[in-house]
Amino acid sequence: MAQETLSGWVRKLQAREVSSRELTQLYLDRIERLDPQLNSFITVTAEQALAQADAADARLAKGEQSPLLGVPIAQKDIFCTEGVRTSCGSRMLDPFVSPYNATVVERMSADGAVMLGKTNMDEFAMGSSNETSFFGPVRNPWDTERVPGGSSGGSAAAVGARLVPGATGTDTGGSIRQPAAFCGITGLKPTYGRVSRYGMIAFASSLDQGGPMAATAEDCGLMLNSMAGFDERDSTSVERPAEDFTAGLNQELKGLRIGLPTEFFGEAGLDERVRGVIDAAIEVLKGRGAEVREVALPNSHLSVPAYYVVAPAECSSNLARFDGVRYGYRCENPEDLMDLYTRSRGEGFGDEVKRRIMVGTYVLSAGYYDAYYLKAQKVRRIIADDFRCAFEDVDVLLAPTTPELPFALGAKADPVSMYLSDIYTIAANLAGLPAMSLPAGEIDGLPVGLQLIGNYFDEARLLGVAHQYQQETDWHARVPAAFA
């Protein structure tokens, strides 16, 4: 029964075939029974969830048809939730209970979604394996000796194991798409500015974007309908007319121009088996009428280096507020102000976070700013220009989401090899483009993700292409045996 998709549940709830309370209880039971194997939740809010479910049932009884009414979801623990611990995967915020709700939380809650809890993540969203969490690593439901990807690893694993039908994620350099690929689910990073960042704890403000993670493209569309929209509390949020992201799901692919960026296929490090899966997916899309051609993104090799200047720079500043003065972790018996700062931050942050703060502080320093930060911003513009040129000839871009299969826990001790896990996802963040990952195959019982990158605000088309693909394949419907 837990194999039902989020959109399937929406239909059943609206038809009153199931109550929100039953559904909520079903998933709470699964979390209690199965999550010890995965560690995908940091906080489960069972009592609050059941109360929300009852409220949703009352609204359903009145015939209300709000899209997510009564549907259980989970929030990545990066979104502030009033009265509930919001840890961001860090010891620094282990004791932090937010006094306010993130806009995303507020919108989904107003639409009647039932929050089951807060999902595990890499500390402050910095990581690609979910191993940097203060609350311990999350395990991949397809093979619990492997990582689920990161930073939204908890959300991806929870959805992959069907502990929840849908969850939110955030994507700064691939943090929705890479774990979606590793856990065999569908995840969308919207255009920068689509989803309000208010209340989403900042990692790299110019790159961060929240988005949906669920089994199917249709699920993601329904969730995005609730999550997206202009927010006057976020100055970078884009004011546009409301849009139905499920409107293009049934759009035929005939005449669709798909571009294959040469650079995303030729680079060393792409697992041949992954490439095989992507090639097969291309054939499926061609079979439904899409035209495929190669395109060039000649500066894509600059993405990872530019990202690892911009993201740490912004993070070094964004994380300065965690100083032990007002909230969060404070060291014991500080001797003086400097001791309070250095020990609170030294003890409160993990290694990867410290590494990025140090890199970021360095690249912003007087004398280095021009050589690093300013240069990286110029590279960003060049990368965005490459995409602009590509989208003059094609409608969407298609590529692998990751160069390789989910790796074993502890396998990437060297930070740079970890960073390269996001080699295909980072460019979309630098350019601010929407991009998604959907399951497209399996190798040795492990899922493989297919990435689609769209033009600005073209989420509906991306979801449409993915939905059409999912009409002909069933990779999205597969659930790891241990969790079926």
Partner 1 sequence: MEWETVIGLEIHAQLNTVSKIFSGAPTAYGAEPNRQACPVDLGMPGVLPVLNKGAVERAVMLGLAINAEITPRSVFARKNYFYPDLPKGYQISQFELPIVGLGHLDIELEDGSIKRIGVTRAHLEEDAGKSLHEGFEAMTGIDLNRAGTPLIEIVSEPELRSAKEAVAYMKKLHSLVRYLDICDGNMQEGSFRCDANVSVRPKDQAEFGTRAELKNLNSFRFVERAINFEVERQIDLIEGGGSVVQETRLYDPDRDETRSMRSKEEANDYRYFPDPDLLPLVVDSAFIETVREKLPELPDAKRARFVEQYGLSDYDAGVLTATREMGDFYEAVAAGCDAPKLAANWVMGEFSAALNRSEVELGEAPVNAEGLAGLIARIQDETISGKIAKEVFEAMWNGEGDADVVIEAKGLKQITDTGAIDTIIDEVMANNPQQLEQYRSGKDKLFGFFVGQVMKATQGKANPAQVNERLKAKLDS
Q: What are φ and ψ of residue 140, in 5° steps?
A: -80, 125
Using CB under 8 A as the binding rule, the residues of this chain from 195 to 254 that contact partner 1 are 197-202, 204-206, 232-236
Residue 140: both structure tokens together: 């991949």
Active site residue 175: yes
CA separation, residue 37 to residues 30, 58, 140, 233, 415 (Å): 11, 35, 9, 39, 26
- Of residues 312-331, which lie at the interface with partner 1 (CB under 8 A)? 313-314, 316-317, 319-323, 325-328
Q: How many other C-beta atoms lie within 10 A of the C-beta of residue 313? A: 24
Q: Which is nearer to partner 1, 296 or 325 (CB)?
A: 325
Active-site annotation holds for 303: no
Question: How far is residue 55 from each of residues 24, 70, 357, 449, measured CA to CA in Å?
Answer: 12, 8, 43, 37
The least distance separating partner 1 from the CB of residue 100, rounded to whole angstroms, comes to: 5
Q: Which residues contact 366 (CB under 8 A, 6 or more apart)?
A: none
Nearer to partner 1, 102 or 466 (CB): 102
Structure token pair of residue 102: 């993130």
Q: Which helix (H) or strand (E) holds 272?
A: helix 272-287
Residues 336-375 that bind partner 1 (CB under 8 A): 337, 341, 361, 364-366, 369, 373
**317 assigned to active site:** no
Beta carbon of residue 236, minimum distance to partner 1 (angstroms, whole number): 7
Sort strands 210-214 and 186-189 into parallel, antiparallel or unpaired: antiparallel
Shortest approach of partner 1 to residue 367 CB, angstroms? 9
Minimum CB distance to partner 1 smaller for 77 or for 352: 77
**270 alpha carbon, distance to own chain's centre:** 22
Number of residues that bind partner 1 (CB under 8 A): 45
The label of the residue with tokens 């963040």 reads: 429
Cβ proximity to partner 1, 80 vs 281, nearer residue: 80
Nearest distance, CB of residue 137 and partner 1, angstroms: 23
Judged by CB, which is closer to partner 1: 58, or 337? 337
Among residues 133, 151, 196, 237, the one annotated as catalytic is 151
149 burial (CB, 10 Å; 0-12 / 13-18 / 19+) is buried
Scanning 170-178, 183-191, 192-200, 282-290 for contacts with partner 1 by CB under 8 A, the matching segment is: 192-200
Decide if 138 contacts 152 (C-beta within 8 A): no
Considering the complex, what minimum distance in angstroms separates the CB of residue 43 from partner 1?
15
Contacts with partner 1, residue ranges (CB under 8 A): 79-80, 86, 88, 93, 96, 98-100, 102, 197-202, 204-206, 232-236, 313-314, 316-317, 319-323, 325-328, 337, 341, 361, 364-366, 369, 373
Q: Which residues are catalytic?
A: 76, 151, 175
